[in-house]
Amino acid sequence: MKSYREELWFQTKERREFLNITPQVERVLQQSGIQEGFVLVNAMHITASVYINDDEAGLLQDYEQFLERLVPQAGTYRHNLTGEDNGDAHIKRQIMGREVVVAITNGRLDFGPWEQIFYAEFDGRRRKRVLVKVIGE
């Protein structure tokens, strides 16, 4: 069994942003040389998500609006009594998820027609990391 690991760094301009990171993950997969196995892609920070869905601008706004309606940034959170202001971001990240596991087949991400990997930032404007770990043969 082979394994390979790389970190991707991001710094968004806005507090909340959605970034399509599929090309970066594909590049890591090529680097790994692994043909059959799994790749794990996870946020290493706890106020951001990695998820898979469509790269359509309207949909990204729908996600933003849905999450902000359900868990408003300006809501009341006990976590913010610690001096933080990102209580909402910890909850938004749980709804969208921490990680994806993607099958690797013939050296490629084994995807359906519209699957794209996104990094969803809910408390950005600082350098944060995503882990890409590949295992297989």
Give the amino acid at 65: Q
Binding marks (x or -) toward a copy of itself, 6..35, rule CB under 8 A? Answer: ------------------------------
Q: Which of 8, 25, 71, 109 binds a copy of itself (CB under 8 A)?
A: 71
3-state helix, strand, coil in the chain (%, to 5): 30, 35, 35
Is residue 133 close enough to count as binding a copy of itself by CB under 8 A? yes
Length of the chain: 137
Is residue 131 close enough to count as binding a copy of itself by CB under 8 A? yes
Tell me the HSE value of 36 on the side-chain side, using a 13 A CA sphere. Answer: 2
Buried b / exposed e across 36-74, counting CB within 10 Å, b at 16+? ebebebbbebebbbbbbbeeeeeebeebbeebbeebebe
Q: Which of 15, 26, 53, 73 binds a copy of itself (CB under 8 A)?
A: 53
Is residue 85 close enough to count as binding a copy of itself by CB under 8 A? no
CB of 33 vs a copy of itself, minimal distance in Å: 14
Q: Which of 73, 79, 85, 107 binds a copy of itself (CB under 8 A)?
A: 79
